[in-house]
Structure 1
């Protein structure tokens, strides 16, 4: 664990490590005051290991899970190259690097989003999930509370997921939701401690069973289902969302019938509601 003692105490890192390390042997937890991007940092570390591994056998220790938390990110990244806005004390930004033995990672971002929603809103009253990787507040405003960014890095014979999560704890703008709206007084350390055990347990189940095991729970929070959509997929530019398939694909009924959208490079938005 890397951070100053006051920082470790504020984040409850020792207790969090005690909870998570039996599930993730070899886990390290680091908290830094400021960094460009937690995902970029872990990806670069893994690339260095992968490069050096060409000349030697990759050691098991090289692939140990790492949770990297930033009190502030200056160049946070989202899907499709978008930036992720964060502010000191008002955001939770972290990344987890984790080798996953499962060959098919379809639906992984959905499982991560589901675990965050389950941990912070167990009754499902406040948080909905927007395919493929966003958390929206369930008040009809289409405001985003958090997002997921997953990158895959090959290291020797293993494939490592770098799972980035960004959440708004306090309001960062008029069109952005925040955790404090339904958890007054929430802090980033509190949110991290609450969601990490749920996230790790969901990831371990995903490794064994894939997305199908979580499909029903995701459907209960699917904020797009039953809504008219517009998409950037030229094969189905608009249609009605019919939910998510057992492999995590979004099913949209267009003019030609049901159409599966599997690529996270496709942008999907609810069509404006008629008045």
Structure 2
């Protein structure tokens, strides 16, 4: 890890405030450093924070991902944020929120020129390597349940700083395209807000459109996979679809199985 402060300046608070002021349903809390933006956002939600509170950490020191994994990045190299949302859709539709988040983050990065896909449920990939992680948590509050949508994206992380061989960053993937951290943050948050609002307002038709669009852009569908399930078991087969409840449909030797939670590994033929 290096600390080139001249190459990795802090986020420009004035730019973020100016741009976000144009979106009245978003409000910004910018932290110089935080162990976890999801924890801060969850605390704010319990204290009554409204839909649209955006908690951004210039440097997140102990971020959490799915399945209790950590998300660590060098200072100034990533964007990490958590958005408080208060969905009004029926509870049965909540499982789609993590998939919606991955899909909208992927589309927002694609708009910058990157070749993005989503690995079920919501890992964002560029050319098969993970560039963004997402953790969506349901929080019970006195004003009803809230969702805390946490997103971390590697922006200028160098190849030698990546934690695992299956990770990448915007800079590593395509150095000529690397936008500013402010630009990435604003573009992704705008896409997420727009996608969430459309999903909420559109009813059954919007849910169907989301499902169709998600499947079309999901790197997992059509792949041979191993799915490590909660409890230590696993299944193997071909991922053939994502159903209307957001579950991965896997064709196994024992027949089709529906997966609502699990860790997917894309199996590469030897």
Give the TM-score taking structure 1 as reference length: 0.82
1:146 corresponds, among 129, 132, 135, to 132
* Range 245-254 or range 205-214, more displaced: 205-214
Shift of 1:127: 0.6
Decide whether the 8 Å contact of 2:123 with 2:134 is kept in 1: yes
Q: How does 1:38-57 map to 2 (within 5 A)?
A: 38-47=37-46, 49=47
**Residue of 10, 13, 16 corresponding to 1:8:** 13
Say whether 1:195 aligns with 2:193.
Answer: no
Q: Taking structure 1 as reference, are residues 207 and 270 closer, same or farther at Cα in structure 2, changes over 3 Å only?
A: same
Structure 1 residue corresponding to 2:150, chosen from 150, 164, 175? 164
Name which of 34, 42, 66 aligns with 2:53.
66
Pick the structure with more strand per residue. Answer: 2
Match of 2:258 among 244, 250, 260: 260
Q: Distance in 1 between matches of 2:41 and 2:197?
A: 20
Deviation digits for residues 243-271 of structure 1, max 9, x if unmatched? 211221100001121111012xx111111
Deviation at 1:220, TM superposition (A): 2.1
| Conserved 8 A contact 1:118-1:124 | no
Q: Any conservation in 2 of the 1:211–1:248 contact (CA below 8 Å)?
A: no
Correspondence for 1:111: 100
Structure 1 pair 115–15 and aligned structure 2 pair: CA distance change class (3 A): same
**Is the Cα–Cα contact under 8 Å of residues 227 and 271 in structure 1 kept in the other structure?**
yes
Question: Residue 272 of structure 1: SS of its match in structure 2?
Answer: coil
Paired with 2:16 and 2:112, the residues of 1 have a C-alpha distance of 25
Q: Confirm or deny: 8 A CA contact 1:94 1:164 kept in the other structure.
A: yes
Which secondary structure does the structure 2 equivalent of 1:63 belong to? coil
Kept in 1, the 8 Å contact 2:156–2:178? The answer is no
Change (3 A) 1:125 1:271: same
- The count of corresponding residues between Structure 1 and Structure 2 is 246
Q: Residues 37 and 105 of structure 1: is their aligned pair in 2 closer, same or farther, counting only changes over 3 Å?
A: same
Structure 1 counterpart of 2:198, from 197, 205, 209: 205
Partner of 2:81: 94
State the 1:7 CA deviation: 3.6
In the TM superposition, residue 70 of structure 1 has moved relative to its aligned partner by 0.7
In structure 2, how many angstroms separate the alpha carbons of the residues matched to 1:46 and 1:125? 33
CA RMSD of aligned residues (A): 2.1
| Partner of residue 231 from structure 1, selected from 218, 227, 232 | 227
Matches of 2:260 and 2:249 in 1, distance apart?
A: 9
Consecutive aligned runs of 4 or more in structure 1 exceeding 6 Å deviation: none
Q: Is there any run of 5+ residues in structure 1 with no aligned partner, and where?
A: 1-5, 50-60
- CA shift in 2, pair 1:168/1:152, >3 Å: same
Instruction: Give the Å deviation of 1:179.
Output: 1.4
